[in-house]
Chains A and B, each alone.
Chain A
Amino acid sequence: MTVTLPPGRDDATESEPATAGTSRRRFLGFLVAGPTLVAASQIAVETQDPTPAAAAVPTPPEPGDLYDLGQLQVLATKATSNLITVEVHKDNTVSFAVPRAEVGQGITTTMAILIADEMDVPLDRVHVTLSKARPEFQFNQLTGGSNSVRSLFAPVRHAAAIARKRLVSTAADRWRVDASTLTVKDGVIHSRDGRSATYGSLTKAAAASRPLPMSAELKPTAHLKLIGKSHNRIDAHAIVTGRKKFAMDHVVRDAMPTMVCRPPTIRGSVKRVRNRSAVLKMPGITDVVTVSTGVAVRGRTFGQCIDAVRALKVTWADGPVGHASDADIIAALHKNEIPLAVPDVSPLAKTIDVAFTFSFASNSPLETGTAIADVRSKSAEVWACLKAPIVAQQAIAEKIGMPLDAVTVHVVEGGGSFGRHLFHDTALEAAEISAKLRKPVKLMWHRTDDFRQGRVHPMATSRIRATVQGNNVLTYEQRHTSVSTSFGHGFGDLISSYAGTLPGFNTLGLAQTVFELSQNMPYEYGVTDQVLDEVDMDFVTGSMRNIYSPDVATARELLTDLLAKEMGLDPHKFRRRFLKDDRAIAVLDKAAKVGNWGRKMPHGTAQGIAIHAEYKGFCAAMVEIDCRPRTVKRSIEDAYTGPRVTKAITVVDVGLPINPRGLETQMMGGMMDGIAVALTSSLHLRDGHFLEGSWDNYYYTRQWNVPPTLKVIVMPQTTNEPGGAGEFGVAAAKAAVACAYARATGRLPTKFPINHDEPLGFAVLPTTPSIPQSPTNGLQKTY
């Protein structure tokens, strides 16, 4: 990171006492040479990290409490923070190309808030775009682990502060006054004698002709106007008017609709296409070509591509999973489970064992896999929603046999991710098709394929053995045995590169490292041991929102209710007594109070409460569930109804909330996910493929499952650092729903979602043809 900068670190050690939310420490940044002002952050690693890695050695059994995955990610991004730049334009706007993906989590809004606040410019004049893949970003162009705000908070504010200082000093020079006498309001600098200049009018004069180091300080907390206040999304207007562009809304010359006919088993492959020439003659179809994932068709409309995919007659080879079904995978997991230890405790201690199974689930967003690729003879251009675009660029370059710098990868906004876009499956496939055809393609996965052939949250079992004596929990051992989870190379390389420097982690595999660094134990449960064992079975997996935590926490919280019962304590009181951290107790108490915990509930209904600690924050959920037959069996056409969560409260403490309103939305989404994976949504594996093929098969939360009463409470600031938000709501919500269900029915659920083994509520779509035809009776269903 010193490449573009002369030495000058001493400057960065100057500091003033930290105030809430910000550090008044002086830091070093620099100006990038150019015609208008471009300011960059540069963070001196040795002075910025209050708890350097070496001083925070994670010591099992609870490493995630001390040093978490997010800190590892923050550390990995620091070396390239000098590439975080804000640019001031003549039209008085400020721009920042964020090296992250926007998939609905609101990172562009958060970035705009940080810049606007530091520079005193109106929020709507900050334009945040998504950076194309830039390999020089290394580990700093990766979106995952709810880490973007944690890793960008400091460098983005630093770059903005440098820009502001330079503009103010430029005005001061021009007016021959002391810079400290000038004030800024709404992007206009004012002098005491009434002169004023806009940022835009000064940007040319403020520009540097060569890289120029500068030091600056952040605004004092008391002067911050936007951070900590609620703001709407900056793209909300574009969304409600239909103008926000997703991958398939971009118009690239000659990029015609393209779809792929996919195999009847997971990752099966093409042996032979029996009617290629007949399909080529179908209306609108321009191309039919075999690729590594199936048979691609390109045509005038997606509708005609659907017709062509359905018409294709293909002989397939089975994929690596063969014709396995759910029961085979459960058996394989059981076979690989390592027996729980016999704890060395008093013979008077009571042992409580529990075991749970978590089904396969889909992280498919509403926008299916989409990408545009235009591969030419000497260069290629790709547009896709990518959370690890540098890795995608490398994979695409390798696949099409081009040097890296010949491949441009644009990151476009995504219609959800939930972990799916950590992978570049669709972008790579589009590039392969375009390379084979030598034509631009607009590739879109069919919904049915997105469920059946897309990445899945792996099936897992979670077993816990706890020992109790009197009013103490002596031991807690949790063994999570899972079909292995892919993290993608972006995330994987980051972890492998940095985890090796942490004592005790150099012998762990990638997944174990992620597990260890993300699992906290919020309770005083004595000798605690949480271990992940993985079984590689060649499934196409991925990390679904909140990765392991929703399953691990659900098992832990159900066990916690059993421990409470054992000690004759109410679930809320028991948790209060055993929680380690006052912040955890505060969110728990708040949830109980707001949710009216302990009120008398009718038979067949119950409350549930749960807690989860991660991302240096705390989250509590309290729900009420109705499991009475008249509710469970309520009839809605083509809908799975089931037990209904009638009230849901989530209380979250993320340390420093930057945009409480945005945080609330993330927590609400997490609650909907938690309800889904607890009660209704899973994939059923049968005969080598997943049965679910539409949203009426895969029961993600729908309006008829939404709690009529729902509340999110964002706790006031408790620390000086923002925590994670995007994934944080899922685990506590899922666990609270599971606990409520157990209390309402008097039965401990051992398989999730709880409806997984019920008779299927839908007619299974065929696997050949691989996708269903669109209906034609839409005009009979108007309302």
Chain B
Amino acid sequence: MPKHTFILNGKRVHVDCPGDVRVLWVLRDLLNVHGPKYGCGLNVCKACTSHINGKAFNPCSVQIADIKPEDEIVTIEGLAGTVNKDLHPMQEAWLEMDVAQCGYCQPGQIMAAVAKVKQARAEGRKIGDKDFDEIRNICRCGTYHRIREAIKAGEKKM
């Protein structure tokens, strides 16, 4: 069986599985990293949003064969580690605004939020309603309003 290796939350990991297995299942079923959630497996609901080399991506829609050994994948479990803190500023903002209800989508929402703020910053502007309207992550509990508030608060802290 093909061997694959990449950097996950700062540590090198190895996994043996066919190359067409999507990264979401490599994380969840083979590496027991359960922060990224399954909500559709179609790159629609975005519940599995994580980061690859600093950018948001959806592991449900990437084959493990397409991941290179030097690729760095960060899931919600490793987000705080990217800033060497117990909590990333965006996670802190999420707590301040008490965003979550059931919490199922929130790891993906937070990972999307961090990427969205970075994207706006790279374009030299603050995040606004137009950016929020581009966030596709589903929250079936309907926490969208507090997500917006938390992203604005998180942006200030980042």
Contacts and interface: CB of A to CB of B under 8 A. Distances in A.
B12 to A, nearest CB: 20
Contact of B43 (A103, A106, A704, A775): A775
B32 interface: yes
Given A446-B41, A710-B145, A665 B98 contact: yes
Interface in B9-47: 17-18, 20-26, 28-30, 32, 34-45, 47
Given A233-B98, A775-B43, A781-B43, 4 more contacts: A246-B104, A366-B139, A447-B41, A779-B57
Contacts of B137: 703
B43 to A, nearest CB: 5
A251 interface: yes
Interface string A747-783: 0000000000000000000000000101111110111
Interface in B100-151: 100-107, 110, 115-116, 119, 129, 132-148
A411 to B, nearest CB: 14
A622 B141 CA distance: 20
23 contacts: A104-B101, A106-B101, A240-B76, A240-B106, A242-B36, A243-B77, A249-B34, A284-B17, A301-B26, A303-B21, A364-B140, A367-B102, A416-B101, A447-B39, A447-B41, A638-B44, A668-B142, A669-B141, A703-B137, A707-B145, A776-B66, A779-B66, A781-B57
Contacts of B34: 242, 245, 248-249
Given A636-B133, A778-B61, A301 B95 contact: no
Contacts of A673: 142
Q: Which of B21, B28, B91, B110 has the most CB of A within 10 A?
A: B21
A242 B141 contact: no
Contacts of A238: 103
B141 to A, nearest CB: 5
Given A636-B133, A778-B57, A701 B29 contact: no
Given A303-B24, A775-B43, A248 B38 contact: yes
Interface of B: 17-18, 20-26, 28-30, 32, 34-45, 47, 52, 55-63, 66, 75-77, 80, 87, 91, 94-95, 98, 100-107, 110, 115-116, 119, 129, 132-148
A414 interface: yes
Contacts of B100: 104, 233, 235-236, 239-240
Contact of A706 (B102, B138, B148): B148
B55 to A, nearest CB: 4
A763 B8 CA distance: 36
B129 A708 contact: yes
A241 interface: yes
Interface string A407-433: 000000111101000000000000000
B25 to A, nearest CB: 4
Nearest to B35: A242
A779 B52 contact: yes
Contacts of B28: 248, 302
A302 B136 contact: no
A7 B22 CA distance: 64
A783 B139 contact: no
Nearest to A659: B98
B108 to A, nearest CB: 9
Contacts of A772: 42
Interface of A: 103-106, 232-233, 235-246, 248-249, 251, 257, 283-284, 300-304, 306, 364-368, 413-416, 418, 444, 446-447, 636, 638, 661, 665-666, 668-673, 694-696, 700-704, 706-708, 710, 772, 774-779, 781-783
Contacts of B136: 702-703
Contacts of B142: 668-673, 701
B145 A365 contact: no
Nearest to A669: B142
A742 to B, nearest CB: 23
Q: Which 9 A-B pairs have the closest CB atoms?
A: A104-B102, A672-B142, A242-B35, A415-B104, A778-B61, A239-B103, A242-B76, A669-B142, A104-B101
Contacts of B144: 672, 701-703, 706
Nearest to A303: B25
A367 B107 CA distance: 13
A16 B147 CA distance: 46
A242 B43 contact: no
Contacts of B26: 301
A306 B38 CA distance: 13
A239 B106 CA distance: 7
A368 B52 contact: no
B133 A694 contact: no
Contact of A778 (B39, B62, B95, B119): B62
B76 A775 contact: no
Contacts of A104: 100-104, 141
Given A703-B132, A782-B52, A365 B38 contact: no
Nearest to A644: B133
Contacts of A416: 101-102, 104, 140-141
